[in-house]
Structure formats: structure tokens, C-alpha cells
Amino acid sequence: MIEDKNPQRTPLSELGEFGLIEHLTKEVSLKHKSTIKGIGDDAAVLSFDSKKTVVSTDMLIEGVHFDLSYVPLKHLGYKAVMVNLSDIYAMNATASHITVSIAVSNRFPVEALEELYEGIYTAAKIYDIDVIGGDTTSSTTGLIISVTAIGHADEDEIVYRSGAKENDLLVVTGDLGGAYLGLQVLEREKEVYKVNPSVQPDLDKYTYLIERQLKPEARKDIMLLLQKLEVKPTSMIDISDGLSSEVLHLCKSSSVGVNLYEEKIPLDPTVISTCEEFSLNSTTVALSGGEDYELLFTIAQEDYPKIKANPNFTVIGHMLDQKSGNALVTRANERIELKAQGWNPIQNDN
Amino acid sequence: MIEDKNPQRTPLSELGEFGLIEHLTKEVSLKHKSTIKGIGDDAAVLSFDSKKTVVSTDMLIEGVHFDLSYVPLKHLGYKAVMVNLSDIYAMNATASHITVSIAVSNRFPVEALEELYEGIYTAAKIYDIDVIGGDTTSSTTGLIISVTAIGHADEDEIVYRSGAKENDLLVVTGDLGGAYLGLQVLEREKEVYKVNPSVQPDLDKYTYLIERQLKPEARKDIMLLLQKLEVKPTSMIDISDGLSSEVLHLCKSSSVGVNLYEEKIPLDPTVISTCEEFSLNSTTVALSGGEDYELLFTIAQEDYPKIKANPNFTVIGHMLDQKSGNALVTRANERIELKAQGWNPIQNDN
């Protein structure tokens, strides 16, 4: 479906032992004064002075997290960075550094890795991140990408999952379900292509969904926006596995219950129309779809006036005492137990 | 060859989505006051005050870096930690935290991962490391382990690869070549076992070599020892890919040349006898074998009296000006060019 636009194929072996990593990292420029030493020694050295160091790591595996038959390598590199930055932003911290480890089989030519790194460097540039290290090795089969993101924050700025209080409002950024539907569209086109490779798909009307899937953006903007609005969330998490799963994480960590209102869940019009086309329930898609990389947070009730006019935020519920349980309040005003049904059979913990 | 001593096999799916990571991390205890938040949020939070943060990452892939037919999972977990701590110690820094990401296929039961983590936690306990996060996911085939190690140091304590000066002495800790020979012994036994599974191998005389391969120890002790001796190396690196490769890294980073004396390279008697048995040249094994996880460093000549009586250290050469080149001085007093022939076809950078 996605053609290889670069017909040149240089075998990995041609660059030799240390050539590959030198080749892939030659463009790295370090911008942060906190980066004392980046790539090229046994370890990187960072200086955060009185700030706290914030660390998160995620691994993406071919055949589990991505399918290279429709995911361009450049987008994959970009997304691998986003997935990790999102975790740092979910701590209300500034992401500043990443390490990138990749394992590749010999079926990948050097040019494929160049594309992957182009995506990584593009993300680093846009999000103001220094690439400070990593590991490049062979794999016996597919492509594996492991990114560790490092950030920093003043201790009193950091927002954990555990600070939500009874009566706090539950707020989500952006809209939900798009990334999952983008995946459904791409999977369907892959099947069509298998049957008839000459069919040119018309994916225009799904542009938003496909972009949400292939090129998600981490919400770096939210921290600054909340600072400007003088709101500090009481708890926060990013939405990687689906809204229900993340709401339950906040509830469990904070020892509170929740009423989540189905009618309040923000959905893009394309999500609604595509759900109809695929005979999917849009609430289920938003609750369980995952990969939206929006932020979910709670705020004290008195902060509501500060955020209510802002199009980035939707209040979708409020926190209860723990014994009231975790519930979805449906459009029919029924209160049903909220359950996690994330997409990933084994789960990341941070 | 190595029997599964635990006949119980619980499928990964039985623990459910978040059950596995909770199960594997339930024993984690945090000991460092620098760990403000460990596992259980979007990211870990660390406090290093005025110290610099030191970060390194490495990935181990089944079929490339290890063969589970003779590597017990517990040892693998231990080694995965050592490989990473070694990089932090090579900066003359204190390792204090790790994140551990693993990808596993369904062929691994929960008990196998418990063994792997037992090795990880044992290493963390012995080396005084807090396990602060990670990611657990599925793989389509084998086992992948990605560890990021984090440490700290005062800025003026940190030793880079780049500080070696002409006339500095080149010093190595411990002895070399053992880990590579241990691998040769294990590979040979695997072949014997394939032909006749009833043969019980007598590996007693190779104990040292097999231990060097399966359960290496990172040289945490060296930093303290050097402090006690009041020696600050001018440059340092750990020996993961073989002595020659690491010597060349120091020379390149420091813009110096080297005379490395073949007769000075420290070899354990078992290495010498086993090289004879395998018809291998012991110098080649030490130069190119890799995985010894010893430290290689340079010191100013005036520091020589401080280290000369210490059995942990062997002076194996001295640095030259860059245009004199990088040479191995053989036992026959011939000066031949030093070349890198590490074992790994694609190479890690830090």
C-alpha cells in the first residue's frame, strides 16, 4: 500500500561495526545546556540542577505495536518518540532528552533506518528534545524500538496519578477514539490491497483518523496552557490504552470513585461517522481504543471557571468517594460499572 | 542442557492485562532517598540535587545476545543489569536506578518471567539499585530485554573517553577473554547435547569461564578503590566488545595513539589452558572476545606508584601522540596495527 520511494538499498553490513551508528547519529545536534555529554561515551551526562529528573520508557515491537505494510518508517520513528514524551508531559514535566535503542534484522537496508531516524529527529526537533544515546543491534526477525524519555520539573510542579480527590472534576484534552479508528481504516485497506493491489484507496475522508494513528502528537502544549490558566491538576495520566483504563488508573491510585458521563466524551465528527460505517459503538471506541495520547486529569471544582471556555478541555465526569465505585453514566442515565478493555494483551506500567 | 526446574507453567494470559506487571513488580522495594516516585505512574521521579544525571541504555535480543538453551533466565536477568551498570561505572559515576522493559512471546510462562526478574532483582539488591519503571509487552517471537541505567556523580568526578593524554598509562582491571571462552565451552556442550542428550558434561574445570559468561559482575568496586588511592583516571571505558575495540575508542575520543603490550594483557590460567584446548590464540581472544565488563582507563604517569601494587590493576600500555598510531607490541617486539574485531555485527554506541 505504501510504496518504498527510495529504490536504493544498502545492506547494513556495508557500513560495518561502528559505521551504522555513526551514520545514523551524525546529524544529532544538542540544544539543551543541560546536556553535558550526549552520544559517544559509555553514558550521557545531564545537568538538571535543583530540578527533579523524570524518566519513562516504552518499547514498540513490529507485529505487535505496528505493521510496516502500512506504517511508514518515518512516521513510526516520530510516533515512538511521541509515545514516550506523552508520559513525561503526563507528569506535568518538561521533556528534554531521549535515548533510542533499535534492533533490526538484515532485511532492513540502511535507507530504511535513515527514514526511521528522520522521523525520530523530526520529532526531537519539533519537541525540543536532545537525542543523547542508545543502542543499535541486530534482531533475528523484526524491528524493535525502545525509547527512554527524560525530563525535569520542580518538585512542586509534578502531578502524579494519585492526587485526585472526591468532587474533583475529570477533564480530558482533545478528542478520543480517532487513533483506533485510523487503525481500523488502515487494516481494512490492507485487506483490500491483498485482494486487489491495483485498487487505489480514497482515504481523504479518513485523513484525520489516519493522522491520529500514524502521526500522533504528544500534548506538550497542555503544561504551558495550564500554567497560563493557573491551574495545577490534582492528578494526571496520558491516554495510551483507552479512556476507561486510564480513568481506572487514576481512581485506583487516588483511592477515589468516578462518574464518567458518556454524553460528555469528546468525539470528532469523523469518529462518529466512521463508527457508523464500521458498525462500531463510538463510546466503546473512545473508552477502549487507545493510542490517543491525550491527557486525562482532575482539577479542584474551584478551578472550573478557569478552564471552562477553553476548547482544549472537556469535563467528562467527577470523582466520588471510593466506595461509590467507578461508573459510566450512560446517555439513558444508567450507571454501569466502568471496565478496562485496553487493546494491548500485556501492558506497560509507565 | 539446563533443565527447567519449575514444572509449573502459568500462561501469560492468565494474569490479564495489568496483572503481569503487578505480579512481577510486587517485590520491588525502593531504597534510595533520591527515588521520589518509582513504578506506578507515567514516569519515575528522581532527585539528584546538585549531582549530574548519568544515563545509559542497552538492549539484549534472544538469538543475538543470548541463547536460552544454555543461559538460565535468572542469570540473563542478572547479566542484563550488569551490562548497563558497567556503562555507568565506566563514567566513574554511582549507578542508582534502572528501568527494565521486556517483550516476550506467549511461549514463556509466567514462571519463566519470574525467574528472569529474580535475576534482575538480585542484581539490583547486590548493586544497590532501585528498579523504577519499565514496560512489559508481547513479542511475536523471542525475548527482548531493554534496560536503561541511571546514575549520578559530581561533575568533576565524571571521567569521559576523551581525556587521555600522551604518556598516560593504559590500565585494565581484572583479566580478559574469560567470558568469550565461557561462551565457546557452552556452545560446544550444546552441540554435544544435541548429538547425545544423555551425556552429562563435566564443566568443573571451566567454572571460572562459564561464570564470566553467564554471571558477569560490573566493576562497582573500582570507583571506590580509585577514590581511596586518590587516582582520577584521565579517560575510561568499559570492556563490552573486546579490548582492542575499547582501546581504539579511547584513542579516537582522546586524539592520541597507543602502544599496547601483548605480554602485559592479564589472562587467567584457565583462559590460557582453554585457549590451548580450543586451538585459539589467547591474545586474539582477549583483544576481540568481549563481554568481560572490566574497566579500561588511563592515568597520568605520576599516579603509577599509587596503583602498582594493587592486584586489581594491570598496566598494559601507554598513550602516544596521535600520529604514532595505535599499535599492539607483540611478544616478539613487533609493532603491528591494532584493529577492532568485536563480536557484534552491529554495534551499540553507549
- Tell me whether residue B312 is in a domain: yes
Q: Which of A20, A42, A236 sits opposite B350 (nearest CB)?
A: A42
Q: Please indicate, yes or no, whether residues A211 and A285 belong to a single structural domain of this protein.
A: yes
Task: Using an 8 Å CB-CB cutoff, list chain B residues near A42.
Answer: 56, 86-88, 90-91, 161, 236-238, 350
Q: Please indicate, yes or no, whether residues A207 and A153 belong to a single structural domain of this protein.
A: no
Distance from CA of A49 to the nearest CA of B (A): 5
Q: Please indicate, yes or no, whether residues A297 and A211 belong to a single structural domain of this protein.
A: yes
pLDDT tens digits along B1-45: 444 445 577 887 777 556 777 787 777 778 888 888 888 888 888
Percent of chain B, pLDDT > 70? 94
Q: Please indicate, yes or no, whether residues B35 and B79 belong to a single structural domain of this protein.
A: yes
Those residues with Cβ within 8 angstroms of residue A60's Cβ, 6 or more apart along the chain or in another chain: A66, A76, A79, A80, A83, A144, A145, A146, A147
CB–CB of A253 and B40 under 8 A? yes
Q: Please indicate, yes or no, whether residues A179 and A105 belong to a single structural domain of this protein.
A: no
CB–CB of A91 and B160 under 8 A? no
Q: Please indicate, yes or no, whether residues A130 and A174 belong to a single structural domain of this protein.
A: no
- Tell me whether residue A306 is in a domain: yes
CB–CB of A134 and B62 under 8 A? no
Q: Which of B44, B138, B350 sits opposite A133 (nearest CB)?
A: B350
Distance from CA of B182 to the nearest CA of A (A): 22
Buried b (16+ CB within 10 A) or exposed e, B59-87: bbbbebbbeeebbbbbbbbbbbbbbbbbb
Strongest mean pLDDT among A153-157, B70-74, B167-171: B167-171
> Which domain-ending residue is among A107, A133, A157?
A157
- Tell me whether residue A10 is in a domain: no
- Of the listed ranges A144-153, A261-270, A294-303, B133-142, the one predicted with least confidence: B133-142
- Residue A345 — pLDDT band, cuts 50, 70, 90? very low
Q: Please indicate, yes or no, whether residues B194 and B271 belong to a single structural domain of this protein.
A: yes
Q: Which of A49, A59, A132 sits opposite B55 (nearest CB)?
A: A132
**Pairs of residues, one from chain A and one from chain B, whose beta carbons lie less than 8 Å apart:** 301
pLDDT at A3 over 80: no
**CATH code where residue A307 lies:** 3.90.650.10
Q: Closest residue of A to B239, CA-based?
A: A42
**CATH code where residue A56 lies:** 3.30.1330.10
- Of the listed ranges A279-288, A306-315, B194-203, the one predicted with least confidence: B194-203
Domain that holds residue B193: 169-337
> Which domain-ending residue is among A157, A177, A192?
A157
Q: Any binding-site annotation on B57? A: yes
CB–CB of A57 and B25 under 8 A? no
ipTM over 0.85: yes
3-class secondary-structure state, position B142: coil
At A193 the pLDDT is: 85
- Tell me whether residue B2 is in a domain: no
Q: Please indicate, yes or no, whether residues A205 and A315 belong to a single structural domain of this protein.
A: yes
The total number of structural domains that make up chain A: 2
CB–CB of A141 and B136 under 8 A? no
Q: Any binding-site annotation on B134? A: yes
Q: Please indicate, yes or no, whether residues A128 and A179 belong to a single structural domain of this protein.
A: no
> Which domain-ending residue is among B101, B122, B155?
B155
Task: Using an 8 Å CB-CB cutoff, list chain B residues near A135.
Answer: 57-59, 146, 348-350
Q: Please indicate, yes or no, whether residues A270 and A196 belong to a single structural domain of this protein.
A: yes
At B340 the pLDDT is: 81
- Of the listed ranges A241-245, B83-87, B339-343, B346-350, the one predicted with least confidence: B346-350
Q: Closest residue of A to B252, CA-based?
A: A40
Q: Which of A52, A99, A140 sits opposite B36 (nearest CB)?
A: A52
At B202 the pLDDT is: 81
Q: Please indicate, yes or no, whether residues A221 and A314 belong to a single structural domain of this protein.
A: yes
Q: Which of A43, A46, A55 sits opposite B44 (nearest CB)?
A: A55
Distance from CA of B174 to the nearest CA of A (A): 19
- Tell me whether residue A213 is in a domain: yes
List binding-site positions of A for Mg(2+).
Answer: 42, 56-58, 87, 135, 238, 241
Q: Which residue has the cell 465528527?
A: A269
pLDDT at A305 over 70: yes
Q: Please indicate, yes or no, whether residues A98 and A220 belong to a single structural domain of this protein.
A: no
- Tell me whether residue B46 is in a domain: yes
- Tell me whether residue A93 is in a domain: yes
- Tell me whether residue B4 is in a domain: no
Task: Using an 8 Å CB-CB cutoff, list chain B residues near A48.
Answer: 48, 53
At A18 the pLDDT is: 63
At B280 the pLDDT is: 95
